[in-house]
A and B are shown apart, each in its own frame.
Chain A
Amino acid sequence: MTVTTPARGVEVAGKSGAMSLEVEDGVAIITMDLPNEPVNKLNQAVKDDFIDLMRRLDGDASIQAAVLISGKPDTFIAGADIEEFLEVKTAEDAERLSLDGQSLLDRLEQLRTPVVAAIHGACLGGGLETAMACAWRIGTDYPKTVLALPEVMLGLIPGAGGTQRLPALVGLRNALDMILTGRNVRAKKALQMGLLDELVHPSILRDTAVKRAREIGRGEKKRSVGRRELTMADLALEKNPAGRAIVFRQAREKVRKQTQGNYPAPPAAIDAVAAGYSLGREGGLSEEARLFGQMAVTAESRELIFLFFATSSLKKDTGVTGPAPSPREVRRMGVLGTGFMGAGIAAVSAMQGIAVRFKDVDHDRVAKGLKSVYDVLSDRLRKRQITRTQFDDQMALVGGTVDYSGFRGVDLTIEAVFEDLALKHRVLKEAEAEMPVRAVYASNTSSIPISRIAEASKRPERVLGMHFFSPVHKMPLLEIIVTPITAPEVTVTAVALGKRLGKHVIVVNDAPGFYTTRILAAYMNEAGRLLDEGASIEAVDRALLEFGFPVGPITLLDEVGIDVGGKIAGVLADAFGERFASSESMQRVIAAGRTGRKGGKGFFLYGKDGKKGGVDQSIYEFLPTGTARADVHPEEIQDRTVLAMVNEAVRCLEEGVLRSPRDGDVGAVFGLGFPPFRGGPFRYVDVHSPEMVIRRLEALNSRFAPRFVPAALLVEMAERRRRFYPLEGRPV
């Protein structure tokens, strides 16, 4: 079981093939390097090998201390192997998994030979829990060295002692912040918190760790106890039960507000942390394991883990089926239109080192666009996500222009001008005349069919849609729209660019409204009809917030622009007929000239500073039932809007607009804010079963025929008792 490589005295241990051991002058150096994987993960085989290794360390008197280090370039340990979670069937199974992990790390902590964690790269979840069980933690001063407990993002809580060890090391408030947000903490910040004991240049990490291990092993240095200096606030809020009660109460309140009670994991994590304070380490650990078990089998966790797999599989998707040509590297890019979208695209591109030629018709517009880019980047500077130098560098990549100078060298141009076909044709022709023949031309249209736009092109095979979402630097989705003649090389280039910009990229086929706009319109239209029937604006928004959307549909309409919504509705009604016919309310509000936030007048009030206030009561005079508002049950509101969206999503798959249910779910969640804990429209159908969804649609259709006629694919699936995703194993 142990293979010795005599030349370097390196032993590769065990089943996983991940762990190697070499002994240097009494210090054992354990290097973890999971074969055939880009990152280190903790799976059962690794854990078994770990136990063997610890036995070896305990039994070998010549070993005084040990160092745990990674052989991967950018990861220490990225966490547990999530694939193993799919095999967990019951809360008891999951609880046992947690208890096993806890006892392994307890053993690591109590080992005779102290272990020093040498952390270079991502140290996440179970990886951080492992590091926290070590006697000393050294991190590298390196941008990719980040520490986090991201379990809540998967609907889980830390299950290997993280809820107990983290507060002990960094204090209650820091710990709650990390556990409840799952956010990455950079090495420098981790040092300040006490999560790291030392910060060194990567080139001396190993040597420093060996030296420190030896010192601790010889008793010359004490084991780390984490944070040492306490502030007055720490004493007041963390070092006594009354103060902690305040902290816990505030944390619960904040979680409730942010999740609308839809996510069970954050409150469970708070419970586990609190148990540690009230019951001690032992009691805290068993509470952590129990809650971990509970969380692991929640529907919310299942859907969040589904999304993890869905987005991971998208990362490997080139955007074309079959053998893919290699993407063209985008070094220089043109952006046409310096409005908010164009500026967002320019900013995220500059962040990735792409030189951007930023074009509009006059200097004032260009200046305004540059100011937007500046604002996005300086926000990152203020939040210390980038340094001053990076800020200057990124800003310098964006060059404003009012002509097409500089377009001769672009690899790709993204057009983000006003949604007007004639205008889009004009700028396409102008840009194409300047661009190299092999450059890609992408339109950021949200509703105009790409084939229509490509009609003006001399090279229509190099034209596609790149539909970004606003605000571009925050929204994680990119919907790429291809026509039947889009060249595969063009598609893969756009997909690769989208990934480089940090987006989840779905590729859909050209059709009116593509995928996201179309299903959103179905949902928004239904919200409009609810207003027609007398539902109040607040009630509609509230019902869908409770359902789990980040903003209500009427608020969203104000943000997107009521006129834009109307325009899109028109395009879709032309294409798909009556079920997309605009609501009476919407038509009247548009006729009244209200455009939403940008015009300062919409469904809501806007202050001089642009801050949104409550509902503008004067809008009701435009609605069919006037100020008379009826009580509509939230469930009715949710059912009608959401089922309209879900039904339309299935149609998109049926018609081949979507390539897969996976793309549909990722698109709805990351582009439209479909509640992540519900997985997406297709997961929604699977969870509730096609039969049930059809029954509900038919019930609605009997009242509102024909717009709730179930999609043919849905009927077919119900007949054949099929699901969109496999019930066992990896969903995608």
Chain B
Amino acid sequence: MATMGNGRRVAIVAGLRTPFAKSGTVFRSLTAQELGKLVVAELVQRTNLDPDAVETLVFGTVVPSVLAPNIAREVSLLSLLPKGIPAVTVSRACASANQAITDAADQILLGHADVAIAGGAESLSNVPILHSRGFADAVVAASRAKSAPKRLGALARIRPRDLVPVTPAIAEPSTGETMGQSAEKMAKINHIAREEQDQFALRSHRLAAAGTQDGRLAAEIMAVYVPPKFDTVATTDNGIRTDTTHEQMQALKPVFDRRYGTVTAGNSSPLTDGAAAVLLMSEEAARSAGYAPLAYIKSYAYAALDPGEQLLMGPVLATPVALDRAGLTLKEIDLVEMHEAFAAQVLSNLQGFESREWAQRAGYLHPVGEVDRARLNVMGGSIAIGHPFGATGARITMTLINELRRRGGQFGLMTVCAAGGMGFAMVVENAG
């Protein structure tokens, strides 16, 4: 992907996110659309972007609003931007923002665009609550009825149980397995002990707290002055526990398998509200507009496996392909950011990277290798920072790039696991 024979390279010029907030906390009054608009508005203002230069906007979201299904278009209709920017919403579960970024990058690489905004937003405080099938059927029948008595007759068929609303669960439509059950299964198959998971979660919190404290994470975060009262200013992620102890971690009960389970609320990522966006340009456009690129997209890959098997092992299949496409090996990677849906998932993925069997499944002879823990999620990850499904991919992109630049490293690798048995990996190169 580095070039496509036409000499074009895709530069990431800037990126920003809202603080990530546990659902039902500071952002509970905001929809995903509003969060998305806030972050894009700030990105446009902060980068002094010429709004007329923006040619496309791609946004990801996982739980779409029934009222505004194309969130990208609503975000692109932001008053700071001209109305003529085509916008598309993409959905690849937790890798949706990655999908947005790679779609935008592809458009740039193809020469279809020079400047694009990509990102994602999620509000798990505002999920659509559905009516039951029985209730919906009755209402539809009533609306079609030709006379008042028939209308009443249709509505009279509603039973008390029909009135119970349906809350969407984070479950696989194909297998019925919830995300947590899948993580639980992976922990068992890969023999990831509870203790190991708890330690990893603790590490995530500890490193994220340090990254917040020393301002490294702050570099990617905008302040959100929460409307309509503006009495709350969110400046940092509110899920990071600076004071949590190993004992507290151990005391938590497994959620998905109460008898034999090891996955707890503590070693999983929490339900989160937030948004993130990235500004992409062709290298040429960036230079002529006076922007210094932060990084170039070197390569990426998506992969998938049977969701009934190990739902969150996708990164293990995607990573060797992305590295191969970049012409690199893990040894040449200076920094790794892995999305942490569950500690069990990250640890399973890391195991998979070292496994010859998984390498062969991906079509390679040799395993990716052992990831140096000192280079992995050095400011924690989604377990501590939070995980607004549609936004996480853009968050990880910026976390990786900013830290890679601070360290003066050359190459960075990121992975994201996604529902449906999918995985994503991308290699970026520091633009120096």
Contacts and interface: CB of A to CB of B under 8 A. Distances in A.
Contacts of B80: 355, 396-397
User: 9 nearest interchain CB pairs?
Assistant: A409-B48, A393-B79, A371-B230, A363-B233, A406-B45, A399-B45, A367-B230, A367-B225, A408-B48
B42 interface: yes
17 contacts: A355-B80, A364-B233, A367-B230, A371-B230, A378-B228, A392-B79, A394-B79, A395-B227, A396-B41, A396-B79, A399-B41, A399-B42, A399-B45, A400-B223, A402-B223, A405-B46, A408-B48
A374 B37 CA distance: 16
Interface residues of A, number: 27
Interface in B44-76: 45-46, 48-49
A649 B223 CA distance: 47
Interface string B205-236: 00000000000000000010101111111010
B305 interface: no
Nearest to A390: B79
Given A355-B80, A405-B46, A400 B225 contact: yes
Contact of B45 (A355, A366, A374): A355
A638 B345 CA distance: 83
B230 A397 contact: no
A353 interface: yes
A370 B230 contact: yes
A355 B51 CA distance: 11
Contacts of B233: 363-364, 366-367
Contacts of A221: none
Given A355-B80, A406-B45, A396 B228 contact: no
Interface string B27-48: 0000000000100011001101
Contacts of A366: 223, 225, 233
B78 interface: yes
A189 interface: no
A178 to B, nearest CB: 33
Contacts of A399: 41-42, 45-46
A357 interface: yes
Contact of A396 (B37, B49, B223, B231): B37
A629 interface: no
B45 A363 contact: no
Interface of A is mostly: helix
A406 B225 contact: no
A371 to B, nearest CB: 4
Contact of B79 (A332, A374, A397): A397
Contacts of B231: 367, 371
B57 to A, nearest CB: 15
A401 B223 CA distance: 8
A405 B45 CA distance: 8
B32 to A, nearest CB: 15
Interface string A514-551: 00000000000000000000000000000000000000
Nearest to B49: A409
A399 B40 CA distance: 11
Nearest to B233: A363
A408 to B, nearest CB: 5
B229 A371 contact: yes
Contacts of A393: 78-79
A562 B323 CA distance: 70
Nearest to B48: A409
A218 interface: no
Given A371-B231, A378-B228, A401-B46, 5 more contacts: A355-B45, A368-B230, A371-B230, A396-B41, A409-B49
Contacts of B46: 399, 401, 405-406
A367 B79 CA distance: 20
Interface in A355-384: 355, 357, 363-364, 366-368, 370-371, 374, 378
Contacts of B229: 371
Nearest to A406: B45
B229 to A, nearest CB: 7
Of residues B48, B78, B80, B225, which shows the largest number of chain A Cβ atoms within 10 Å of its Cβ? Answer: B225
Contacts of A395: 227
